Structure 1
Amino acid sequence: MSTMRNDLPAGLAWFKASASSGSGGCLEVAFLEDGRVAVRDNEDLSNPPFVVTQHVWECFLDGANRGEFNIPG
């Protein structure tokens, strides 16, 4: 299950990949107390974060680690 959320708690700790090195255009994630994961575009904070369950996040990470989401080419 996933949703766009405007009602997340204030003061979340957002993280981005070290590969972004401050150049912008990065996704950031925050880990919610109930295990869900919020994802947002740090260049457009007017859009609400996308929130997924822990299971969905783990499946995504597994696929990313296996190269399943690499850009074709």
Structure 2
Amino acid sequence: MEFENGMPADMIPGAVWIKSSASTGGGNCVEVTGLPGGAVALRNSRDPHGPALVYTREEIAAFIAGVKAAEFDHLGE
């Protein structure tokens, strides 16, 4: 199966969606799932049937490195 950006998140077979333990609940969490072939999909927990964004493992690794380096901290101000 090919996974594309914007596909309905609930159409990803076998997806096990997880969220950070830092999430406070209330339906405002980003959830992730691994995909066959190493890609990663993200969805908004407020809309579990809505679109999934699909990223390569390399894209996710670059984003996580940026988060760890505090490159996005200004967005939470």
Aligned pairs, how many?
72
Give the % identical residues: 33
Alpha-carbon RMSD across the aligned residues, in angstroms, is: 2.0
1:10-61 deviation line (CA, Å, top 9, x unaligned): 2211110000143320000001121000000000123210001110000000
Q: CA deviation at 1:3?
A: 2.2
Deviates more, 1:47-56 or 1:5-14: 5-14
Q: TM-score, normalised by structure 2?
A: 0.78
Unaligned 5+ segments in structure 1 are: none
Residues 5 and 51 in structure 2, CA contact (< 8 A), matched pair in contact too: no
Shift of 1:72: 5.9
* TM-score, normalising length: structure 1: 0.82
- 1:36-55 equivalences in 2 (<5 Å): 36-55=39-58
Q: 2:28 corresponds to which residue?
A: 25
Going by fraction, where is helix more abundant, 1 or 2? 2
Task: Tell me, yes or no, if structure 1 residue 68 matches structure 2 residue 68.
Answer: no
**Which amino acid in structure 1 is aligned with residue 72 of structure 2?**
F
2:6 paired residue number: 4
